[in-house]
Every structure is written in C-alpha cells, then in structure tokens.
C-alpha cells in the first residue's frame, strides 16, 4: 500500500514537473519496421506513411551505435544506449563469463542476465498497466523476471505472418477494458531482409517497402475503426537504416592480425577484439593505417558514439567506413548496417498520429533513446533514469 502511494505521489510530481495537466490516458501502439531507412518514402511510393505524416508527426530519428537490430530494439525499449543496456551488438564476447552471446542462439538470447536496464513494458506493468507485445527484441525474455502481459515467443510455431501479427494486435485491443493493454509493441523483419538481399536502392526493396506501407494502412484503418479508435496513438518507426555494399569494398583484417595476438575477434560491424596480454599495441599498430576502417583503443572511441564502457566491448574496436565490410559478412548481400548513427543512410523513419500528437508537424529530429521517455509520457508512468531526453522530443506532442 505504502509503495502504491509513493508511486502515485511520484507520478503526480512527475506530471507537475512536465508542467502537464493530467490529460486522458490514451492507448499507444508502436510499430518497428526493421531497417526502414528515413528516406524510403522519398524513393518509393508510401501513401499510407505519407498520410500519417500529414495527419500527425514526421521526423528523422537517429539510431544508437552500432546501428544493428538487437542493440537498437533494446535501446528503443529501455532508453539506454547499447553500451549501457548490455546488448552492445547482435553478437558479442561475454568476457566476464567467457562465453559468447548471439541473437541467433536461443540459449544465450533467452538468458535475462544479458539484458540490463528496464524495458518500458516492465516499467508500465510495475505501475499497474497492461502491455502486449509481438516479437519486439526482449519481449519473450524474462527480463527482471517479467514478461509483457500478452506476448508471443519468437521461436513458437507457427511463426506468425505479418497479417496474423496485425490480427493479434486487434484481438489484444479488443479485450475487456480490465485486460486491455495500454501499450502494444509490434515488430516486422522487413524491409531489412530485402534491404540486405537486394540493397536499399532496388526494385525488389521498393516492392517490399510498398507492401509494408500498405500493411501500415491496414493497421491504421483497423485501429481507427475500433469504438475507442480516437483514443489510440500509433507510432511507426525503425531500428536502423541500410547502406549499399559491394564485393569491391571489403577489408580482410586477417591480413594484418596475427592469431597469437588475439583472444577473441567478434562482432563484424563493429568488430571487438579482446587482445592477449601484452599484444594490444601490436594489434592497434597493425590496423591503425589500414584504409577504410576506423580503429580505436576502447577508451579512445569518439564520445558521440557512446561506446566502450561495457565489459562486453573489446579493448580494441574496429569499425568499417560506411558501405565497407569485413570478409566474414555474407558475400552475396547488397545492403548492410551497423555503421555510425550520424550517417544519413543509418537514420530511420518516424511517424506518429493520434490524440497526443500534433497534426501536420515535422520535427527537427531526435535520438532513439528518447522513445522510452516519450512512451512514459504517453502512458503517464514514472520513467526510470535513462540516456533519453524528454526535452528533445516533447515538441511533437500537443
Ligand atoms: P540483423 O539484420 O542481422 O541486424 O537482424 C535482423 C534479424 O533479427 C531479423 O531478420 C530477425 O530474424 C531477427 N530478430 C528480430 N527480432 C527478433 C526477436 N525478437 N527474437 C529473435 N530474433 C529476432
Ligand atoms: Zn534491424
Ligand atoms: Zn539487418
């Protein structure tokens, strides 16, 4: 009881600090279209996303470094940059426990110890709200011992089609009020897949982008046709963009590194190297003048990348220039990501409509760590301390 009163009191203080009256608490649906670069709507026909921009807010959002799927979806969920949320890459060497984490390996992916910070669904549920989640990174993992109220395991059979995922969202939203989620999170693995196979600029990726756009039109129409449709905010965004790559732009690090110098070399874009005792300078010196890569000692990584405080980052970090790759990346791919958030090719779409958002507003942009404070505001819950800044994003609100 005492805890409840304290939470209610902090919520009141929080709202007063935002200078907000207590408005109605609405519902929020947030969608991630994996690898949806910010400028796809200028390259391909996206009438539904365009209409969301006209009826609501549009912006270009920066991902966090590295611009890859697991780190950034977990950043969107927690408001913490990958260096602070524990998921510093899609794969990494866990030096403290001498084992490998990989998003593709269920044993490590489902180990909650890797996931630091607090996902928004946990924060919301601690404060009495219900949430629902379809396939967002982290949502089927017992982070802090908690799952979303309604969710589906990524590896449960059958793997749901895009249409089935939208059906599930509608089913959740039509639950009786007591079970109805205030926050719904929904993930699609396209246009990332097509972007990798065909490159960001291709008719195949164009067709997939158009398909995802039409699905967003269906989702919006179905949400708006609910009896309380006017009370639902809809956000469509992404984890990272996509850059063109080529078999001509490849750096073979093995040409420069001696195996006896390195404990572990892992992570592609960027690559973390854990050096053997006494060989750190040898590694650094061997790589520092190689063309088309950046190499840093962990403590010298540029501040704007927010990278290097985690024990999971190697003592040497090597990042290829935009559009360049290391040899172990799939040879026939035409697109890749993982590069610097400051590269326009890595930046992502943001559209938001609904009762809490301005209409016909173009924002100057923000960073994906700001989504957690935005969702906390929309859900009227007290946020955890994060790397996000509500100040940077609040202009998109009414
Ligand atoms: P990548 O392009 O390598 O950064 O990762 C994209 C891939 O991540 C997708 O194609 C999915 O297969 C995978 N993925 C996305 N969300 C999840 C999830 N919640 N659990 C497991 N794998 C996921
Ligand atoms: Zn992705
Ligand atoms: Zn990808």
pLDDT-derived band at 331, boundaries 50, 70, 90: confident
Within a domain: residue 94? Answer: no
68 close to 89: Cβ distance less than 8 angstroms: yes
Question: Is the pLDDT assigned to residue 14 strictly greater than 80?
Answer: no
Given 336, 359, 380, which residue is the final one in a domain?
A: 336
> How many structural domains is the chain composed of?
2
Within a domain: residue 108? Answer: no
Q: Which atom of ligand 1 is found nearest the CA of 140?
A: 19
Give the domain extent around 39.
2-67+118-244+340-396
Question: What distance in Å separates the CA atoms of residue 398 and residue 395, rounded to the nearest whole number?
Answer: 8
28 three-state secondary structure:
strand
Do 356 and 329 share a structural domain? Answer: no
In terms of DSSP H, where are the helices of the chain? 2-17, 40-43, 47-55, 69-78, 82-85, 106-109, 120-126, 162-173, 192-198, 203-224, 280-287, 371-379, 390-393
Which residue is closest in CA terms to ligand 1's atom 6? 69
Do 234 and 282 share a structural domain? Answer: no
Within a domain: residue 361? Answer: yes
Which residue is closest in CA terms to ligand 1's atom 17? 137
- pLDDT value at position 268? 87
Do 143 and 34 share a structural domain? Answer: yes
Do 158 and 229 share a structural domain? Answer: yes
Q: Is the CB of 133 under 6 A from ligand 1?
A: no
Within a domain: residue 80? Answer: no
Q: Residue 20 Cα, ligand 2 centroid: separation in angstroms?
A: 35
For residue 243, the Cα-to-chain-centroid distance in whole angstroms is 17
pLDDT tens, residue by residue, 131-185: 999 999 999 999 999 999 999 999 999 999 999 999 999 999 999 999 999 999 9
2 close to 157: Cβ distance less than 8 angstroms: no
Question: What distance in Å separates the CA atoms of residue 168 and residue 205, rounded to the nearest whole number?
Answer: 26
- pLDDT value at position 7? 57
Q: Is the CB of 371 under 6 A from ligand 1?
A: no
Q: Residue 19 Cα, ligand 3 centroid: separation in angstroms?
A: 40
Within a domain: residue 268? Answer: yes
Do 381 and 288 share a structural domain? Answer: no
Do 260 and 224 share a structural domain? Answer: no
Q: Residue 242 Cα, ligand 2 centroid: separation in angstroms?
A: 9
- pLDDT value at position 24? 83
Residue 69 annotated to the active site: yes
63 close to 76: Cβ distance less than 8 angstroms: no
- pLDDT value at position 329? 67
Q: Is the CB of 135 under 6 A from ligand 1?
A: yes
Q: Which atom of ligand 1 is found nearest the CA of 187?
A: 16
pLDDT tens, residue by residue, 55-94: 999 999 999 999 999 999 999 999 999 999 999 999 999 9
Do 131 and 209 share a structural domain? Answer: yes
pLDDT tens, residue by residue, 248-298: 999 999 999 999 999 999 988 999 999 999 999 999 999 999 999 999 999
185 close to 30: Cβ distance less than 8 angstroms: yes
Which residue is closest in CA terms to ligand 1's atom 11? 189
Going by C-alpha positions, the residue among 110, 113, 107, 119 that lies closest to residue 30 is 119
Within a domain: residue 188? Answer: yes
- pLDDT value at position 309? 98
Do 300 and 236 share a structural domain? Answer: no
Question: Is the pLDDT assigned to residue 5 strictly greater than 80?
Answer: no
Given 313, 336, 359, which residue is the final one in a domain?
A: 336
Do 256 and 312 share a structural domain? Answer: yes
Given 301, 321, 336, which residue is the final one in a domain?
A: 336
Residue 212 belongs to a domain with what CATH number? 3.40.720.10
Q: Is the CB of 151 under 6 A from ligand 1?
A: no
The Cα angle at residue 216 between residues 196 and 75, in degrees rounded to 5: 60
- pLDDT value at position 332? 86
pLDDT tens, residue by residue, 199-248: 999 999 999 999 999 999 999 999 999 999 999 999 999 999 999 999 99
Q: What does the DSSP 8-state code read for residue 397?
A: B
Within a domain: residue 100? Answer: no
Q: Residue 67 Cα, ligand 2 centroid: separation in angstroms?
A: 8
Residue 278 belongs to a domain with what CATH number? 3.30.1360.180
Do 351 and 206 share a structural domain? Answer: yes
Catalytic position from the list 28, 46, 69, 149: 69
User: 116-125, 214-223, 320-329: lowest mean pLDDT where?
Assistant: 320-329
Do 297 and 231 share a structural domain? Answer: no
Q: What does the DSSP 8-state code read for residue 143?
A: B
Do 362 and 307 share a structural domain? Answer: no
Say which residue the tokens 């697991």 belong to.
70
Which residue is closest in CA terms to ligand 1's atom 18? 137
Residues of the chain above pLDDT 70, percent:
93
Which residue is closest in CA terms to ligand 1's atom 1? 69
């Amino acid at each position: 009881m005492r805890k409840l009163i304290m939470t209610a009191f902090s919520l009141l203080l929080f709202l007063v600090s935002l200078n907000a009256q207590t408005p109605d608490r609405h519902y929020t649906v947030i969608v991630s279209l994996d690898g949806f670069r910010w400028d796809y709507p200028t390259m391909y026909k996206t009438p539904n996303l365009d209409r969301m921009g006209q009826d609501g807010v549009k912006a270009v959002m920066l991902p966090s470094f590295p611009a890859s799927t697991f780190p950034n979806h977990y950043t969107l969920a927690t408001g913490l940059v990958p260096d602070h949320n524990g998921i510093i890459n899609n794969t990494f060497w866990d030096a403290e426990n001498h084992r490998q984490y990989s998003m593709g390996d269920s044993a490590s992916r489902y180990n909650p110890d890797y996931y630091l910070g607090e996902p928004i669904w946990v924060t919301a549920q601690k404060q009495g709200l219900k949430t629902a989640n379809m396939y967002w990174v982290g949502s089927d993992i017992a982070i802090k011992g908690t799952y979303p109220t309604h969710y589906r395991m990524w590896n449960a059979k059958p793997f749901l089609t895009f249409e089935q995922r939208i059906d599930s969202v509608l089913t959740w939203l039509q639950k009786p009020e007591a079970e109805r989620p205030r926050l719904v999170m929904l993930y699609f693995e396209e246009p990332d897949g097509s972007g990798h196979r065909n490159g960001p600029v291709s008719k195949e990726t164009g067709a997939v982008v158009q398909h995802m756009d039409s699905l967003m039109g269906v989702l919006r129409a179905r949400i708006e046709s609910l009896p309380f449709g006017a009370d639902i905010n809809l956000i469509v965004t992404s984890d990272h963009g996509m850059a063109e790559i080529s078999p001509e732009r490849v750096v073979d690090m093995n040409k420069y590194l001696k195996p006896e110098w390195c404990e572990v070399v892992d992570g592609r874009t960027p690559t973390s190297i854990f050096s053997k005792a006494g060989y750190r300078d040898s590694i650094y010196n061997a790589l520092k003048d190689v063309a088309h890569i950046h190499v840093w000692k962990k403590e010298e990584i540029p501040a704007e990348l927010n990278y290097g405080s985690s024990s999971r980052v190697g003592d040497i970090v090597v990042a290829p220039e935009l559009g360049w790759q290391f040899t172990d990346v799939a040879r026939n791919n035409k697109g890749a990501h993982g590069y610097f958030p400051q590269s326009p090719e890595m930046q992502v779409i943001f559209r938001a409509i609904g009762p809490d958002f301005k209409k016909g507003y173009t924002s100057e942009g923000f960073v994906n760590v700001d989504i957690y404070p935005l969702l906390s505001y929309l859900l009227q819950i007290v946020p955890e301390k994060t790397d996000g800044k509500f100040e940077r994003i609040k202009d998109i609100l009414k």
